[in-house]
Every structure is written in structure tokens, then in C-alpha cells.
Amino acid sequence: MDNTKALVLFSGGLDSTLAVKLLVEQGIEVVGITFTTPFTNPSIEGAKELNIPLKIIHLGEEYLEIVKLPKYGYGKNMNPCIDCKIFMLKRAKEYMAQVGAEFIATGEVLGERPKSQKKDALWIIERDSDLKGLLLRPLSAKLLPATIAEEKGWVNREKLLNIQGRSRKPQMALAKEFGITTYETPAGGCLLTDPIFSRKLKDLFTCLKDDTSLNDIQLLTIGRHFRLSPTTKIIVGRNDEENKKLLEFQVLNLQVLNLLAQVDDILFKVVNFPGPITILRGKGGKVTQEHLELTARLTARYSKAKEEDMVAVEYWGATTPGKKILSVSPIKDSELVSIRI
Ligand code: SF4
């Protein structure tokens, strides 16, 4: 069959790059598809180097739902890899029809990841994404049942591979052979595989449950986080760039997301000394005088005034006019332990 077209799930990582190469080498026309999520931002550079068209799909709220409650559970951290792949493949299947591709391929390698790439997991992914026989894994194809593309001779199974396991040596050797030098790290920098980010996300889901918004999640990527109550937390900027972003968050809430009904951020800054921007976020406006004082003390602790006895800290809200000042003692490190997330 001439001009066989394949849609390849492309993350910019080595495995999906090799999957593309293996198909292109067979004369198959490849179209790439990649997904950005609140937790990933895959590189598109690799697709340019491979000279393939790349469709980018942005996933937001609907993706968040599967992260909150994945049918097949989480991996080592908050990564719901099986559900994530099913979700992306379902979207890819819709696009497959649009571009007239005959099948979908991925860079999955049998046994490379403990949960999502075991044989039964690969089978579940194929079944639940409604792609039976249409999902080719070129790197491990010889260890898996033949797909329609192989049976019909669109793809030569003999030229596909039998890689399995966690060692990446075979892929590295192949990359060398193909002259591939640029690719992303495994998992494409997915924040859901990061233990520190996962701890903060778990705290958010536990406390806010269904009220967790994309804005709450974006905020997890910035600063030090402290929990005061299920609906109240503090975020302290760690450097100038984060301070700037925290200032923007308040404006963002007001102007773009219109989240004021749920979120009223109060910002804090030490007067007369360099120091961080701190956000006190109380969902539903549930902020007490005690919360205000604690946040001011934290802000003082992370400022250049941390050795002072008393420090003036100003604070202001998006809905309250003008700034107010609290005079507080910087919080002691021993007091931080119980509230740090
Ligand atoms: S590592 Fe992240 S992006 Fe990749 S499959 Fe798992 S959850 Fe999805």
C-alpha cells in the first residue's frame, strides 16, 4: 500500500523520536501529535529536526478530572500514566480520522516503566482508547501481538524492534545509529512524576477536593507552600522572578479568571527591607486575624529583616482599598515545621 500515513504520539523524548524514525525509515508518512497539560510542556524542537508536521493539543480542565480521580490509580507519585495515555490516545484517535492516518504509533517500551508499560497495561491502554489493532509500538512490536498495520503489510514487522526493560542502552545505541542528539529527558519533564510537586498536589486535592482549580495548580509551581487550614494556604516567593509571578497572580485572578467568588488573595511584603512577596490564599474568603499575623511573620522570616525583633509588614487585597501594616516578630524555624507542605 502506497503512502501509508501514521499518527505518532510525540513527546520530544528519545522513545517517541525513535518510533518516528523507525516508521520514516520504512517510507511511512508520519504526522506527530503532542499534548500540553497543566503539568507538561513538551518540546517541539525534536519534531522540527525530524521534519514532521506536529499537531499540538492543549488539555485543561477535562485533563484535571482524570488526575483527580484516575481509574487505574497513580504511579510512584501523582502520575496517572495509564489513564493519561488512554485520554491522550482517545484524542489522537479523533485526529487520526481528520488527517487520514491508518494507525497510531507510540514510543512505549515494554517493561520500561513499572506500572504503565507492563504487558497488561499496554493491553488496557489499547482496549480503553478504542484502538484495538490500531496501536503500534515500534520499539517493542516484535514482543507484542501483530497489529493491523503489520498484518496488512503497511509496516514491515521484521524492521521493527524487540526492546524491553528499564535499561535505555538499546535506545541510546539506536539514537547514535540514527544520528539523533537532541531529545527530552524521560517523562518529558512531567511534574506529576516529581515527588515534591506531587506532595503539594496531593495536599491540594485532599483539602479542596472538587474545588481545585487550574489556577491553584499553576500556583504550585511557584514558591514555598504552607498550609494553615483546609481552605487557607500561604505561598512565599523564593526569588525576584517568583515574586513577580505572585504579583501577577492577583491581577490574573481579577482580570482573566474572575475567581473572586472563590479566591481572595492577600499579598504581603516587608517594609524597608528586601524580601519576598507572599500570598495568603483563603478559599471563600476564610481568612482570620491569626492567619494574617502568621503570614506576616513568615514574610518577615524570609526577608533580610529576619534577625530583627519586630518587623513592619504591609499587606493588601485585591478587593480592599489601600495597604495595611502589621508589626510582627519573624517566625522561628521550629514553628514552620508543622505548617510546611
Ligand atoms: S509521565 Fe505524565 S504525561 Fe507521561 S504518561 Fe505519565 S502522567 Fe502522562
Q: What is the pLDDT of residue 188?
A: 54
CA-closest residue to ligand 1 atom 5: 81
Q: Is the pLDDT of residue 234 over 70?
A: yes
- pLDDT one-digit tens code per residue, 46-90: 888 899 999 999 998 899 999 999 999 999 999 999 999 999 999
Q: Return d(Cα 201, Cα 194) in angstroms, integer.
A: 10
Residue identifier of the C-alpha nearest atom 4 of ligand 1: 187
Across 23-44, average pLDDT: 93
Q: Band the pLDDT of 164: cuts 50, 70, 90.
A: very high
Q: Could you report how far apart the first and last alpha carbons of the chain are, in Å?
A: 57
The predicted pLDDT at position 3 comes to 80
Q: Which residues have C-beta within 8 Å of that of residue 126, sequence separation ≥ 6?
A: 132, 135
Which residues, at least 6 apart from 217, have a Cβ–Cβ distance to it below 8 Å? 38, 39, 64, 201, 204
Q: Is 79 in the pocket of ligand 1 (CB under 6 A)?
A: yes
Residue 326 Cα, ligand 1 centroid: separation in angstroms? 44
Query: Residue 40 C-alpha to ligand 1 middle, in angstroms?
Result: 8
Kindly tell me the burial class for residue 290, based on how many C-beta atoms sit within 10 Å of its own C-beta (0-12, 13-18, 19 or more): exposed
pLDDT digits (tens, 9 = 90+) for 89-106: 999 999 999 999 999 999
Mean of the pLDDT values across residues 152-177? 95
What is the average per-residue pLDDT within 138-154?
98
What pLDDT is recorded for position 41?
A: 80
Q: How far is the CA of 21 from the centre of ligand 1 (A)?
A: 22
pLDDT per residue over 195-223, tens digit each?
999 999 999 999 988 888 888 898 899 99
**Is residue 258 predicted with pLDDT exceeding 60?**
no
Domain 5-191 in this protein, CATH class = alpha beta
CA distance 8 to 166: 22
Classify strands 278-283 and 232-236 as parallel, antiparallel or unpaired. antiparallel
What's the CA-to-centroid distance between 139 and ligand 1, angstroms?
18
Question: Which residue has the CA at smallest separation from atom 6 of ligand 1?
Answer: 81
